[in-house]
């Protein structure tokens, strides 16, 4: 009886050791030491619709889930993109450089940005994109041209 | 008293500036919020405030092509809000513009000045362009409606409908 208990204890602690070893391997960070060319990170909704995607001619991993992009292009979609309806694009933003956090679905940049939407064209010196809420925050020297035919309040 | 409504307040082309802009897509509308030193400039029109929010109606339905369907639904300027036009200017705690209804509302210490006719003040001023009226709403008990029919005004026959107790007074 005592022998069986000892054996059970040994097996228990051995299994714990194996589990810790396995977790350690999973937790290990793998950093690519070469840039990824033509990088694209698409993000989808639960129903399979593409919500937004960010691309770059070159991407470098600078940390866990963190990428540094060159010539970044951010597409944010509104509505149903599943049918390939490109006109559902909410805006397309371009920036010389961006940092993307794939875990928090955020991107930002300090190199200036141009945001072109269906009816607006905006520029700013720096920016931040919150992917989960499809919100882009433009900062410093923000200028937006809004092309809307809204008529007049009075003639 | 002739008060022309702010003509050409909104244009097919507006320039909006601010220190910070938040542009966000919601299901049925798009919000553009400009914070800190925000201003809207159009032809002969200027609107400014510490915060300006523009609501664009996206008019989208599921599966519908969303292109070219947006329109300005509302514009709200808050905190030190003011507007200027050729012959008119106004200020209030909050200025709201509803282009489709052709209504402009100055809410909270509203004041609008016509360079030729004078000034109207009120806690709430409503410019109803469709009916050519300004409604000066001082409080729940004291309300007055000012007709701004152009011909009548030229004849100096200013017509005040409702109680004479116009809380928002006028002055030359």
Q: What is the pLDDT along chain A (155 residues), one digit of tens a residue?
A: 566 666 665 565 556 555 555 555 555 566 677 899 999 999 988 878 888 999 999 999 988 889 999 999 999 987 655 444 555 778 999 999 999 999 999 999 999 999 998 788 999 999 999 999 999 999 999 999 988 755 555 33
Are B25 and A83 inside 8 Å of each other by CB? no
* d(C-alpha B146, C-alpha B128), whole Å: 10
A-chain residues within 8 Å CB-CB of B24? 133-136
Q: Would you state the pLDDT for residue A27?
A: 53
Q: Is the pLDDT of residue B55 over 70?
A: yes
Residue pair B111/B94 in contact (Cβ under 8 Å)? The answer is no
Greater confidence (A69 vs B1) lies with A69
Q: Would you state the pLDDT for residue A58?
A: 94
Report the gap between the CA of B148 and the closest CA in chain A (Å): 12
Residue pair B18/B52 in contact (Cβ under 8 Å)? The answer is yes
Are B60 and A79 inside 8 Å of each other by CB? yes
* d(C-alpha B95, C-alpha B79), whole Å: 9
Greater confidence (B161 vs A127) lies with A127
Q: Give the pLDDT band (50/70/90) at residue B9.
A: very low
Q: Would you state the pLDDT for residue B168?
A: 40
Chain B residues 39-98 with a CB less than 8 Å from chain A: 54, 56, 58, 60, 62-68, 70-72, 97
Q: Which of B5, B15, B102 sits opposite A145 (nearest CB)?
A: B15
Kindly state the tokens that stand for B37. 């030193």
* d(C-alpha A57, C-alpha B5), whole Å: 52
Q: Would you state the pLDDT for residue B104?
A: 87
Kindly state the tokens that stand for B10. 């909104």
Q: What is the mean pLDDT of chain B?
A: 72
A-chain residues within 8 Å CB-CB of B11? 150
Q: Give the pLDDT band (50/70/90) at residue B78.
A: very high
Residue pair B58/B12 in contact (Cβ under 8 Å)? The answer is no
Q: Would you state the pLDDT for residue B72?
A: 84
Closest CA to B4 of B172, B168, B154, B166: B154
Q: Is the pLDDT of residue B142 over 80?
A: no
Q: Would you state the pLDDT for residue B75?
A: 93
Residues, chain B: 172
Are B64 and A149 inside 8 Å of each other by CB? no
Find tokens 């029109």 and name the residue. Answer: B45
Are B24 and A134 inside 8 Å of each other by CB? yes
- Angle at alpha carbon of residue B102, lines to B98 and B107, rounded to 5°: 55
- Reported in sequence order, the residue ranges of chain A that DSSP labels E, i.e. its strands, are 36-44, 50-63, 66-77, 89-101, 106-109, 113-117, 120-124, 126-130, 135-146
Q: Is the ipTM beyond the 0.90 threshold?
A: no
* d(C-alpha A124, C-alpha B24), whole Å: 16
In order of B38, B51, B57, B78, B108, the CA distances from B54 in angstroms are 11, 10, 10, 12, 20
Q: Name every residue whose Cβ is closer than 8 Å to that of residue B7 and which is 6 or more positions away in sequence.
A: A152, A153, A154, A155, B44, B85
Query: Burial level of B137, CB count in 10 A (0-12/13-18/19+)?
Result: buried
Q: Is the pLDDT of residue B158 over 70?
A: no
| B16-30, B114-128, B135-149: range with lowest mean pLDDT | B135-149
Q: What is the mean pLDDT of residues B126-140?
A: 72
Q: What is the mean pLDDT of residues B12-36?
A: 89
Find tokens 């007055």 and name the residue. Answer: B144
Highest-confidence segment of A68-82, A97-111, B10-24, B132-146: A97-111
Residue of B nearest to A116 (CA): B23
Helix (H, G, I), strand (E, B) or coil at B105: strand
Closest CA to B48 of B72, B78, B71, B20: B78
Q: Give the pLDDT band (50/70/90) at residue B132.
A: low
Closest CA to A105 of A131, A69, A74: A131
């Amino acid at each position: 009886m005592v022998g069986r208990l000892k054996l059970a204890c040994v097996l228990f602690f051995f299994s714990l050791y194996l589990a810790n070893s396995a977790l350690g391997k999973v937790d290990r960070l793998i950093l690519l030491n070469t840039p990824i060319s033509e990088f694209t990170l698409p993000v989808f909704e639960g129903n399979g619709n593409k919500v937004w995607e960010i691309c770059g001619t070159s991407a470098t991993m600078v940390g866990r889930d963190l990428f540094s992009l060159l010539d970044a292009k951010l597409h944010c979609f509104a509505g149903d993109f599943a049918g390939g309806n490109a006109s559902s694009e909410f805006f397309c933003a371009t920036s010389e450089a961006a940092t993307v956090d794939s875990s928090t679905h955020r991107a930002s940049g300090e190199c200036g940005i141009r945001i072109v939407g269906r009816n607006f064209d905006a520029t700013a010196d720096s920016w931040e994109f919150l992917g989960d809420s499809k919100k882009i925050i433009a900062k410093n020297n923000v200028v937006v041209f809004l092309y809307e035919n809204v008529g007049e309040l009075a003639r | 008293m002739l008060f022309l409504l702010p003509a050409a307040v909104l244009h097919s082309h507006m320039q909006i500036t601010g220190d910070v802009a938040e542009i966000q897509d919601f299901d049925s509308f798009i919000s553009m919020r400009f914070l800190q030193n925000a201003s809207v400039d159009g032809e002969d029109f200027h609107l400014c405030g510490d915060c300006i929010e523009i609501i664009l109606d996206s008019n989208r339905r599921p599966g519908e092509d969303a292109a070219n369907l947006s329109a300005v639904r509302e514009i709200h300027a808050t905190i030190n809000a003011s507007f200027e036009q050729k012959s008119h200017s106004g200020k209030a705690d909050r200025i709201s513009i509803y282009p489709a209804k052709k209504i402009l509302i100055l809410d909270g210490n509203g004041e609008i000045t016509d360079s030729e006719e004078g000034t109207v003040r009120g806690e709430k001023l409503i410019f109803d362009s469709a009916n050519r009226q300004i409604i000066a709403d001082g409080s729940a008990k004291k309300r007055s409606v000012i007709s701004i029919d152009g011909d009548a005004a030229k004849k100096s026959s200013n017509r005040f409908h409702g109680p004479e107790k116009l809380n928002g007074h006028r002055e030359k």
